[in-house]
Amino acid sequence: MRKVFDRFSGVSAAFSNKADGNMSLSIGDTKGSLENRKLFLGKLGVDYRSLICAKQVHGVRIEAVTEKDSGKGALDYQSSVSDCDGFITDRPLVPVAILTADCLPVYIYDPKVRAVGVLHGGWRSSEANISGAGVKLIQDKFKSDPANLLVAFGPAMRACCYEVSADFKSNYPCALTKRAGKLYMDLAFLNKNQLIAAGVKEENISDTGLCTYCSQDEFFSFRREAALAGRMISVIMLKE
Q: What is the pLDDT of residues 45-65, one digit of tens each?
A: 999 999 999 999 999 999 999
Q: In the predicted model, is pLDDT for residue 101 greater than 90?
A: yes
Residues 125, 61: contact at Cβ < 8 Å? no
**Nearest Cα residue to 43 out of 16, 72, 66:** 16
What is the DSSP secondary structure assignment for residue 236, as one 8-state letter? E
Architecture of domain 2-238: 4-Layer Sandwich (3.60)
Per-residue pLDDT at 182 exceeds 90: yes
Residues 64 and 143: their CA atoms lie apart, in Å, by: 13
pLDDT computed for residue 227 by the predictor: 87
For residue 135, what pLDDT band results from cuts at 50, 70 and 90?
A: very high
Rounded CA-CA distance 186/58 in Å is 17
Radius of gyration, alpha carbons of the chain: 17
Element (H, E) at 18: none
Q: What residue ranges do the domains of the chain occupy? A: 2-238
Strand partners of residue 15: 2, 234
